[in-house]
Amino acid sequence: MWESDRLAASDTTATGDGAQLWLFTATIFVGATLLFLVQPLFAKMVLPLLGGSPSVWNTALVFFQAVLLAGYGYAHWLMRWFGPRNQIIVHVCVLTAAALVLPIGVASGWRPHAGTPPALWLLGLLTVSVGAPFFAISATAPLIQRWFARTGHPHAHDPYFLYSASNLGSVLALLAFPFILEPTLSSHAQSIGWSIGFGVLTMCIISCGAVVWRCSDVASSPPWPNIMERPNWRQRATWMVYAAVPSALLLGVSAHISTDIAAAPLLWVIPLTLYLFTFAIAFARRPLIPHWLAVRAMPLALMVLVALFAWREPIGVFLPLHLLVFFVIALMCHGELVRRRPGVESLTEFYLFLSLGGVIGGTFIALCAPVLFNTVFEYPLSLTLAAALLPSATPRANRGDVILALVILVVLVGGKTVASGLGWQPHTFVVPGICAAFALLIFARQPRPFGFGLCVGVLLVSSAYALMSSEVLWRGRSFFGVYRISESGDPTNRSLVHGTTNHGGQLVADNGDISPTAYYTSSSPIVEVLTATQSHSVSQRVGVVGLGSGALACYRRAGDAWRFFEIDPLMAWIAVESGYFDLMTRCAESVSKSVPIVLGDARLTLAEEPDGHLDVLVIDAFSSDAIPIHLLTREAVALYMDKLAEDGVLVMHISNRFLNLTPVLARIVEDLGYAALRGARNKIDRDIDIAGTKSVWALIARDQATTDALALSEIWGPLETSMDRRVWSDDFSNLLEVIRWSG
């Protein structure tokens, strides 16, 4: 009888332990899911107010990272200054106070004002609108793990494995937003759902607190022998470094693949998903990939990438290669964090410095790199730092490592300098072949970590210099993108390239005359519209959103009043002041005065223009592969039409390699009750148009009579409709439905 009672008690204990584990795991999972849902949701809400510039996303990223750091600091403060029961009381009060600002949304009365720095305004808006609930939730992962260590559970002595659940929740949220929530729910509905989730999380945290309250007199289990105790500042700095490099590499590889390989939509999801998965794998009790394997695989994977770094195509080969190497490096770094984790008494301190390292790495890439570098240099820099973190008992470089780095420098940089002086153009495979040989040599030598990083960095920089094309005249960068100006051919074709997309340029004839190229040659659909509208009036008032190289200015007449709306000041400098392009002033005969340029996001600057003022409005912000969605919503199109005269026309450039924007625009036009046509130039006659590019445009007017009066050619036809599509608005958009999955 006693034996059966003992077995029953044992079963009851096991059942209780299992329930506790599920409760604490679910709480961390829900908290991480909510954290990663609110970030894209609120950033999308604020776009129509502040515009779709990358600086909006960068500022929001910095804010969320900073608040996450504050949440980890708050959790550490609770552990240090309060007992278990007081911790529960304080945190429940914080959650209750945070719930008072729900549901999340743009705080009423907040609108940007002239003279207020946009970044400061956005930080203030984020703080007022989502700061409190995000802060309260951000403490969940370290706090719940530390509470779990007090439960007496068999695994309580090492609760770090619960961090795997946190990152799996982050992955779920990351994938759910673009693939499930955004295509099916409006932003308002998502906000309500998030508020319900906050309530569920609060109940889970209270339940965890109840367990800890009952176990508050149970001492924490001693740490495992292989876990460090009482970390010093050197160990804290090591945590920060191993967290900072993967964070920097995440943004670096995302910028590289979206700038130099393909600006495909949702491409940023892949590296971020891999990044979070490496946390989940590394912190698991039984890692799917053992740490020793990641340590051994990292040098090999990195040297394969370095050997082939100069190549961009085929995308199907090199895109997975970059992602694979990033995954291996992040897994190695996060595995080192797990290996160097402290005992449970220092758990919250460990996560505090881990978060601080992530903030440092992310902030440098998001805010500093665009100012310091004119290319995506932060990516090879991050790879170099990762190489220097390879675990070793003797990290310092030796004389052989330094000599090898100098040999690489002399061969590639010196060889390129000599070849250029002699007018030689090395074969396409010469430099990559030399790089591959050096990469093999570095891998065979297996230099010490600092020497490994030195050799990798010198090889990446030297190969980039050796492969630098003589056709590139200038490179530049701003928060809005990476630009380069190149020149080739006879007659001379000078082009402006933004990321992977040609934004037009000028063709210089033998007699010195210049003419537009790419989408803006005389046979382009947009030029046909401008010519047709000019035939109906002596003078026109024309607005153009998107400056590029200023090519469209060539089609203005002396009596016309044109105005460009451009978000990037650097683009305005390129088109007007750089001296590389003359399209704004020279190519239009008898026109000497430069076209005025209004700087700022088009949704904001156009709103300040008088209604009914323009005869033609051209929206040319979609010629890049990454579109500003807030310029393609029902509210945006309604704004454009308000600025047109009664018989005015709206022309939108919707060319895109990855997205089919025609059905989206057609549905908006249909919902607003306007008339529309689609014009596509699918074939280029090189005997007539040697510098033209295929393009697709949409023409929108208030009624069919206006479009009929233009008498356009046969390249213009009806704008296809799709009644089953939901109308895109500031509250709803679905990028998945317009992706060209076949490429």
CATH code where residue 656 lies: 3.40.50.150
Residue 329 domain flag:
no
Strand order in the sheet with 644-653: 597-599, 561-566, 541-545, 614-619, 644-653, 695-701, 675-681, 716-718
Residue 289 domain flag:
no
Tell me: pLDDT of 94 over 80.
yes
Tell me: pLDDT of 687 over 80.
no
Split at pLDDT 50, 70, 90, the class of 216 is low
Q: 569-595 pLDDT, tens per residue?
A: 888 899 888 888 888 877 654 455 667
Tell me: pLDDT of 220 over 50.
no
Token digits for 529?
């519209």
In whole angstroms, give the CA distance from residue 610 to residue 563.
13
Tell me: pLDDT of 175 over 60.
yes
Tell me: pLDDT of 668 over 70.
yes
Angle at 93 between CA 90 and CA 95, to 5 degrees: 110
List the single range of 449-463, 493-507, 630-644, 700-714 with lowest mean pLDDT.
Answer: 493-507
The sign of the torsion formed by the CA atoms of 410, 412, 415, 421 equals: negative
- Picking from 191, 218, 245, the residue at the C-terminal end of a domain is 218
Asked if 432 and 538 sit in the same domain, the reply is no
- Picking from 189, 218, 247, the residue at the C-terminal end of a domain is 218
Residue 423's domain comprises 399-466
Residue 342's SS3 state is: strand
What's the rounded mean pLDDT across residues 461-471? 76
Residue with token string 């929206």: 619
In whole angstroms, give the CA distance from residue 10 to residue 546.
71
Asked if 592 and 686 sit in the same domain, the reply is yes
Q: Which helix (H) or strand (E) holds 233?
A: helix 233-256
Which residues share a beta bridge with 734? none
Which pLDDT score is estimated for 593?
60
Tell me: pLDDT of 727 over 60.
yes
- Picking from 198, 218, 238, the residue at the C-terminal end of a domain is 218
Asked if 541 and 684 sit in the same domain, the reply is yes
Residue 341 domain flag:
no
Tell me: pLDDT of 469 over 80.
no
Tell me: pLDDT of 227 over 60.
no
Token digits for 689?
């148009």
Q: Checking DSSP bridges between strand 541-545 and strand 561-566, what pairing results, if any? A: parallel
Residue with token string 């607190």: 209
Asked if 54 and 203 sit in the same domain, the reply is yes
Asked if 652 and 552 sit in the same domain, the reply is yes
Asked if 570 and 654 sit in the same domain, the reply is yes
What's the rounded mean pLDDT across residues 520-524? 87
Asked if 523 and 455 sit in the same domain, the reply is no
With CA atoms as reference, report the closest residue to 739 among 653, 576, 627, 594: 627
Tell me: pLDDT of 69 over 80.
yes
Mean pLDDT of the chain: 83
Give the CATH number of the domain where residue 77 resides. Answer: 1.20.1250
Tell me: pLDDT of 225 over 70.
no
The sign of the torsion formed by the CA atoms of 357, 362, 367, 368 equals: positive
Tell me: pLDDT of 243 over 80.
yes
What's the rounded mean pLDDT across residues 234-260? 87
Q: What percent of the chain has pLDDT over 70?
A: 85
What's the rounded mean pLDDT across residues 688-701? 85
Question: 3-state DSSP helix/strand/coil percent for the chain, to nearest 5?
Answer: 55, 10, 30
In whole angstroms, give the CA distance from residue 425 to residue 567.
39
Q: 112-164 pLDDT, tens per residue?
A: 665 566 677 888 888 988 999 999 999 999 999 999 988 888 888 889 999 99
Q: 470-503 pLDDT, tens per residue?
A: 678 888 887 777 888 888 777 788 888 876 677 7
Which pLDDT score is estimated for 7?
38
Residue 215's SS3 state is: coil
Which pLDDT score is estimated for 527?
92
Q: 8-43 pLDDT, tens per residue?
A: 444 445 556 678 889 999 999 999 999 989 888 887
What's the rounded mean pLDDT across residues 311-321? 76
Split at pLDDT 50, 70, 90, the class of 223 is very low
Q: 74-85 pLDDT, tens per residue?
A: 999 998 888 888
Asked if 149 and 56 sit in the same domain, the reply is yes
Which pLDDT score is estimated for 736?
80
Helical residues (DSSP H) of 479-621, grouped into ranges: 525-534, 569-572, 602-605
Q: 104-117 pLDDT, tens per residue?
A: 888 877 766 655 66
Asked if 450 and 541 sit in the same domain, the reply is no
In whole angstroms, give the CA distance from residue 445 to residue 397.
12
Residue 321 domain flag:
no
Tell me: pLDDT of 4 over 60.
no
Residue 693 domain flag:
yes
Asked if 625 and 523 sit in the same domain, the reply is yes
Tell me: pLDDT of 228 over 80.
no
Residue 54 domain flag:
yes
Whether the CB-CB separation of 246 and 282 falls below 8 Å is answered with: no
Which pLDDT score is estimated for 224?
39
Tell me: pLDDT of 281 over 80.
yes
Residue 498 domain flag:
no
The sign of the torsion formed by the CA atoms of 549, 552, 554, 556 equals: negative
Give the count of domains, the chain.
Answer: 3
List the single range of 239-253, 282-296, 329-343, 716-730 with lowest mean pLDDT.
Answer: 716-730
Asked if 525 and 462 sit in the same domain, the reply is no
Q: What is the DSSP secondary-structure string of 462-520?
A: HHHHHT--TTEEEEEEETTEEEEEEEETTTEEEEEEETTEEEEEEEE-TTS-EEE-BTT
Asked if 529 and 661 sit in the same domain, the reply is yes
Residue 653's SS3 state is: strand
Residue 183's SS3 state is: helix
Split at pLDDT 50, 70, 90, the class of 669 is very high
Which pLDDT score is estimated for 12?
43
Reduce the secondary structure of 82-138 to three states and give it as a string.
CCHHHHHHHHHHHHHHHHCCCCCCCCCCCCCCCCCCHHHHHHHHHHHHHHHHHHHHH
Residue 487 domain flag:
no
